[in-house]
Amino acid sequence: MLKDRSSRTHFLFSILVTGFVVGALGCSEPSSETSAKSQTTTSQTTTSQTTTLDSQVASETTSASTIVETKPTSNDLPGIWLGNAVIDKAKLTQKISSLTPEQQEMILAKASSFLSTIMAVEYKTDGTLENDLEMVSMDGQVMRDGSQGNWRVLESRDNGLVIETSETLPDGTIAKTESFLKFFADGNRFVTAVTLGPDLRDCDAMIVFEKQQLTGLNVADQNLKTERR
């Protein structure tokens, strides 16, 4: 069991750094390219706008049809999971097709910011959790946030788990969130829907999580070995 929380936080951050590279290549453009595209004039043609969309939105999305149903249990969730954001490109293309160039540019910037999202979450066997999140804002600023809380399974379904997470806010109130985690057949990945603002509503925004191989004990051992060196 890891005693030093800073070591675990450091490990979650290291996952975020690794995942951010993967997310940038697979889901969105590097921030420098995104900044360059934000300077594109509003007189660009429909063809060039479509090219911009293709480069900004995930080339592959995770739809319900790609997930084979399997019945997970509460024992499948404990561990460290790394998540990347995805959006349905076809639905986003359709959503912006009738908009002005200025409106398209704004929505694409919002989509690109969401697609930069990387999350590292640890569900612990004692019912507590810790998460760390990183994303790039629309103006190119890298933002990080993290929190601790509790989790419990409310319902086990044929293809996923309904869980409740709770977090104590700075003012002392407890915020509770209910989520459905839809598992892939291999049991090492799940997807959860994300509710975004009206500009990206109905675009099937979601986070796809993949379980990391290191257990808490291995993480602790790794950090101790690193410190001894």
165-174 residue pLDDT tens: 999 887 888 8
Residue 33 lies in a domain: yes
Q: In the chain, how many domains are there?
A: 1
Q: Give the distance, in angstroms, between the CA of residue 112 and the centroid of all CA atoms in the same chain.
A: 13
Residue 161 lies in a domain: no
Residue 153 lies in a domain: no
Long-range own/partner contacts, residues 93-97 (CB < 8 A, 24 or more apart): 93/50, 93/53, 95/202, 95/203, 96/53
Residue 85 lies in a domain: yes
pLDDT at residue 33 tops 70: no
- In the three-class reduction of DSSP (H, G, I as helix; E, B as strand; rest coil), residue 139 is classed as coil
pLDDT at 67 (0 to 100): 53
Q: What percent of the chain has pLDDT over 90?
A: 51
102-161 residue pLDDT tens: 999 999 999 999 999 999 999 999 999 999 999 999 999 999 988 899 999 999 998 899
Residue 80 lies in a domain: yes
Residue 157 lies in a domain: no
The percent of the chain in helix, strand and coil, each rounded to the nearest 5, is 40, 30, 30
Residue 175 lies in a domain: no
pLDDT at 71 (0 to 100): 82
Q: Compute CA distances 67 → 157, 177, 186, 227, whole Å.
A: 14, 24, 10, 41
Q: Which domain holds residue 205?
A: 5-148+181-228
Residue 168 lies in a domain: no
